[in-house]
Amino acid sequence: MAESSEPVLADGALDVQSDADSRARTSISTPVSTGGPKPIKRLLSQDRVSRIIPDTDSGTTIRYCSDFVRDFLRSDYNFCTAKFSVASRSKIVALDERFREANEWMDARLAWSRSFRRRSISLRYDTREIVVTHSLAGRLIRLLNQHDQLFDNVLGAYLAHNVNDKQKDAALLGAARHISAIHRLCIPDNNRFSRDGKLLDEEV
């Protein structure tokens, strides 16, 4: 009988060979770690809100017609609401004061804008779903709504030639400035505020 040309392996040798083949396949299919820190994935604003307050489910729909409110909702609103939710008492005091200033200014400007005869105009309104995580978020939404009420009133008065360019710009830029000031005050950490709500070593 002719002898086989293939080598004959014992049972134990077969096991060793199988293990070696398995390790070889694993080393090929699994990438080798290069070490070093893993890349940091930056959280989106909506993710930031859900990480800080995972159980929050309070939301509302806001209507807007101005570019300023549209851009603020896209870029700054979720950042502000996340900061409201983790703000210290000192920072809340500072934010409350800034809100009071903005509310007083906005109420006065709205009363002023209603004193003019206005041309009826049809503005395009869009909507956006937003999360409400804190009572200050509700106050921020009110300011955004007031901004667009002022925008509508002033534009109508301007088209009726009862408000000039300077008055129109002063009203709309002023409204945007007061809302943006609240966003800027959200940026410093809690330890940057004194007990009476003053921002330490810096003016915002």
Q: Is residue 5 very low, low, confident or very high in pLDDT (cuts 50, 70, 90)?
A: very low
Tokens of 97: 């004061």
More confident residue, 37 or 96: 96
Write the single-letter amino acid at 168: K
Residue of 92, 91, 79 whose CA lies nearest to 131: 79
pLDDT bucket at 52, cuts 50 / 70 / 90: very low
Distance separating alpha carbons of residues 49 and 1, to the nearest angstrom: 80
pLDDT given for residue 161 in this prediction: 97
Average pLDDT, the chain: 81
pLDDT at 40: 37
* The CA-based dihedral angle spanning residues 91, 94, 100, 106, taken in that order and rounded to the nearest 10 degrees: -90
Two structure tokens written together for 140: 């921020």
Task: Report the alpha-carbon distance of residue 108 to residue 182 in Å, rounded.
Answer: 18
99 vs 37, more confident: 99
- Specify whether the CB–CB gap between 48 and 131 falls below 8 A: no
Q: Name residue, tokens 């400035």.
A: 177
- Domain ranges in the chain? 52-192
What confidence score (pLDDT) does residue 3 get? 46
* Per-residue pLDDT at 89 exceeds 60: yes
Instruction: Encode 92-104: b = buried (16+ Cβ within 10 Å), e = exposed.
Output: bbbbeebbeebee
Q: Tell me: the pLDDT tens digits for 58-84? A: 789 999 999 999 999 999 999 999 999
For residue 25, pLDDT over 70 is answered with no
Q: What percentage of the chain carries pLDDT values higher than 90?
A: 68
The separation between CA 191 and the C-alpha centre of its own chain, rounded to angstroms, equals 22
Of all residues in the chain, the percent with pLDDT exceeding 70 is 71
Predicted local distance difference test score (pLDDT) of residue 47: 53
State residue 166's pLDDT score. 98
Q: What is the pLDDT of residues 138-197, one digit of tens each?
A: 999 999 999 999 999 999 999 999 999 999 999 999 999 999 999 999 999 999 999 999
